[in-house]
Amino acid sequence: MKKNKMNINKKEIIITIIVLVLCIVVGFFAGKALYETMYGAI
């Protein structure tokens, strides 16, 4: 168990962070589009 933790791939962590950041960006634009449709200009 301990050994596995030590072997976490650095590349994997970087990709995970990129994926989550991308997800925030996508969410932001999805939110913007949604509320502009519902409310008009935010």
Partner 1 sequence: MKQCMEQFKRIIKKNVPMIIILLTTIILVFPLLGNKVSSGHDYDFHVTNFLLNQSNINILKLDFIIPKVFGGNIANSFGYGTGIFYPPLSYYLTSYLAYFFQIIKVNSILALPFLQIIIFFLSSLMMYKFVKRVSNDNTVAIISAISYISSVYFITNIYVRIAIAESLTFIFIPLVFWGLYELFFGAKKKFYILFTLGYVGLINCHLVLSIYITMFIIIVFLIFFKKVFKKEIIKKLIFASILILLISSPFLVPLLEHKFYGNYVVFNQETMYTIKTIKENALSLKDFFIIKIKTPNGVEVYMNYVIIYMTLITIHFNKQIFKKEKKYIFWSVLVILIVSTFISTKYFPWAIMPSFIKMIQFPWRMCGIIGFCSSILSGYFTKIIDSPHKKTIVCIIGLFIVLFGASTIPRERVTKPYYPTEISMGVQKEYLPQKTIENIEYFEKRNKEIIIKNGKANIDILEKETPYLKANIKLESETPVVIELPRLYYLGYSIKLQTDKELKKVKYKENEKGFIELEVEESGILEVQYEGTIANKISNYISIITIFSCIFALIYKKNKKNR
Binding-site ranges for partner 1 (CB under 8 A) = 2, 11-12, 15-16, 19-20, 23-24, 26-28, 30-32, 34-35, 38-39, 42
Which one, 3 or 11, has the nearer CB to partner 1? 11
Please give the Cα distance from 3 to 25 (Å, whole number). 35
Sequence-distant (6+) residues with CB within 8 A of 34 are: none
Which one, 3 or 42, has the nearer CB to partner 1? 42
Distance between start and end Cα atoms, the chain = 49
Q: How far is the CB of 20 from partner 1 (least distance, A)?
A: 6
